[in-house]
Amino acid sequence: MTAQIIDGKALAEELRQSFKARVEALAAKGHRPGLVVILVGEDPASEVYVRNKVNGCLAIGMHSEKITYDAAVDQTTVLKKIAELNADPNIHGILVQLPLPKHFDEEAVLEAIAAEKDVDGFHAENVGALAQGNPRFIPCTPYGVMKMFEKGNVDLTGQEAVVIGRSNIVGKPMALLLINAGATVTVCNSRTKDLLAHTRRADILVAAVGKPRFVTADMVKPGAVVIDVGINRLPDGKLCGDVDFDGCKEVAGQITPVPGGVGPMTITMLLANTIEAAERKAGL
């Protein structure tokens, strides 16, 4: 039997519609949620994501603006802008699109964002809160994955979860969320010894390794929930995930596609975090 496909695009749309009432309630009290997205450089994929973030906000009645800098801009200029935005009462969320050009100290930039406006959840204070099981802002991609589990009635308690990938954006926060949800979590990477032995016993398998079709059908336990966080652009311009979807869907119980799986949920959870930031500031 082929796996049930978890439709991230449909869930993202459903959630976005549900956000509209919260945005209007805030706006009626003079607190229209506002997000600023900072983009440094001309990476074409980042330009698309940033545009989708800004448009996603506007579509549900939020305020949003993009600030762009040439790739050669110095870090001080960006830090100065972040300081201004930290002090702006109409801006509830600030996000710096990653990756940054090589001459930037990424950590210093992310730490410069006020923790209460860090809607990406990358500030050390927010990472610490998540690690302690008391999250303030959950990084958007793993947050989206958790919403998918919720929607699919996936009970994580006591389940064997394997995360392939250990990035700060996805792998690490994903592992923390799964731990907090009561799963038994193993974090692997592409060089893990006997990776197959780990993945084959996973009830929940999250691929965030950044290698096209890295997870093949033989690595999947029959009936497992397979979440593909990969977004790889192939030489022919097509997009593909870290999972060999056609092969794995014959073994898995549930699986996310690429595109149309986790990706659309990432931006949706950014909207959720920004609304949450505005609600906190408004005392709601």
Rule CB under 6 A: which of 250-269 touch ligand LMY7XDAE?
Answer: 258-260, 263-264, 266-267
Closest CB to ligand LMY7XDAE among residues 159, 266: 266
Cα 229 to chain center, whole Å? 9
Residue 270 CB, nearest distance to ligand LMY7XDAE (Å)? 7
What tokens does 74 get?
Answer: 């110095």
- Min dist. Cβ of residue 39 to ligand LMY7XDAE (A): 10
105 is catalytic: no
Smallest distance, ligand LMY7XDAE to C-beta of residue 28, A: 30
Residues 6+ apart with CB under 8 A from 231: 45, 239, 241, 258, 259, 263
Per annotation, catalytic residue among 7, 118, 120, 203: 120
Q: Is residue 206 a contact point for ligand LMY7XDAE (CB under 6 A)?
A: no
Question: 């749309």: which residue's tokens?
Answer: 13
Interface map 155-184 toward ligand LMY7XDAE (x if CB under 6 A)? --------------x---------------
Q: Which helix (H) or strand (E) holds 232?
A: strand 232-233
Q: Quick check: 164 and 207 in contact, CB under 8 A?
A: yes
Per annotation, catalytic residue among 7, 81, 97, 159: 97
Residue from the set 118, 120, 244, 276 that interacts with ligand LMY7XDAE by CB under 6 A: 120
Residues in the chain: 284
Phi and psi based region of residue 17 (left: phi greater than 0; alpha: psi -120 to 50; beta: remaining): alpha
Of residues 31-90, those binding ligand LMY7XDAE (CB under 6 A): 48-49
- Supply angle C-alpha 22, 28, 34, rounded to 5: 65
Q: What is the rounded distance in angstroms from the CA atom of residue 80 to the CA atom of residue 58?
A: 26
Which residue's CB is nearer to ligand LMY7XDAE, number 19 or number 49? 49
CB of 127 to ligand LMY7XDAE, least distance (A): 14
**Does residue 120 carry a catalytic annotation?**
yes
Rounded Cα distance, 138 and 94, in Å: 14
Helical packing angle, 262-282 and 44-59, nearest 10°? 50
Binding site as annotated, residues for NADP(+): 165-167, 231
Site for ligand LMY7XDAE in 132-151 (CB under 6 A): 140-141
Amino acid at 61: G
Binding mask 208-247 for ligand LMY7XDAE (x = CB under 6 A): -----------------------x-------x--------
Residues placed in the known binding site: 165-167, 231
State the number of binding residues for ligand LMY7XDAE (CB under 6 A).
19
Catalytic annotation present for 53: yes
C-alpha dist (Å) from residue 153 to 81, 133, 146, 173, 220: 42, 21, 10, 21, 20
Q: Determine if the peptide bond prior to 99 is cis (ω within 30°).
A: yes
Residue 222 preceded by cis peptide, ω within 30 = no
- Active centre residues (catalytic): 53, 97, 120
Which residues bind to ligand LMY7XDAE, rule: CB under 6 A?
Answer: 48-49, 95-98, 120, 140-141, 169, 231, 239, 258-260, 263-264, 266-267
